[in-house]
Copies of this chain bind each other. A is one copy, B any other.
């Protein structure tokens, strides 16, 4: 009945124009879950190594996130390191160590198979498909992807597109997938290949929602002090899907509100390293920023 996310738990090493941090708790599923937990119970599927501190799992549980689907495998946890340039928009990946994630074979606990809302965080499309196939009757399936899979796993990705309701991409990915430079032409082309709607992430410039019955353009919340943009996209997805799972309503008005909540959770995410700012966040501040954003963008 709940909201299920399948993705990574990771340790990140992050260099920003101002600071350098190592062993930051991150990963797509972690960010998603920390953002979604404000709205609905979250179930998490992923894999960590034996180096993953039990305390980090307990911290997730304490926030109402179900971690029974986190497998502990022999070896080391996924690690990513990257650097942000002074304009924050340029991100250079310094190293990716897949470690235990390389052989990630998602196995959903029996209790998770009835999930109605499913987020497939960025992973090899065949892994995303394996997870999807274990969910009995999902109502809303949204997937993220990346340029690497568009390059080397396009056929699998095309199959996945036919099985999902929503796709999350950035502008470059939308163009790569369709060969169309104009974002709206690209979006229309993608909607013909399966999904009901598309979310195009534009970072500090906001996000677009383009579906058959809905088009919504939203600027980003103006964060004054960005600390670390890592995980902003997954936090957006967490706020977006969390709100929908809580509201149990997929009509256009609800999708629009979900975009605002996604923008708000992403804005908190970037105010700290990893999930630190989302961990500290409480619902009243989240709601206050939602109201502030609504007033900022309402004509």
Contacts and interface: CB of A to CB of B under 8 A. Distances in A.
Interface of A: 182-185, 202, 205-206, 208, 215-219, 222, 224-225, 256-257, 259-260, 294-299
Contacts of A257: 299
A205 B92 CA distance: 23
A259 B202 CA distance: 21
A259 B219 CA distance: 14
Contacts of A208: 219, 222
A159 to B, nearest CB: 29
Nearest to A297: B217
B182 A225 contact: yes
Identical chains bound together, number: 2
A296 B219 contact: no
A211 to B, nearest CB: 13
Contacts of A222: 183-184, 208, 217
A114 B265 CA distance: 50
B184 A299 contact: no
A216 B224 CA distance: 16
A22 B210 CA distance: 38
Given A256-B299, A257-B299, 4 more contacts: A185-B224, A208-B219, A208-B222, A216-B296
A255 to B, nearest CB: 10
A297 B218 contact: yes
A266 to B, nearest CB: 15
A215 B184 contact: no
Contacts of A218: 219, 297, 299
A298 B296 contact: no
A224 B183 CA distance: 8
B205 A296 contact: no
Nearest to A202: B205
> Chain B CB within 10 Å — which of A184, A185, A219 has the most?
A219
A299 B260 contact: yes
A108 B295 CA distance: 41
Contact of A297 (B183, B185, B224, B299): B299
17 contacts: A182-B225, A184-B222, A184-B224, A185-B224, A205-B206, A206-B219, A208-B222, A215-B295, A215-B296, A216-B296, A217-B222, A217-B296, A218-B297, A218-B299, A256-B299, A260-B299, A297-B297
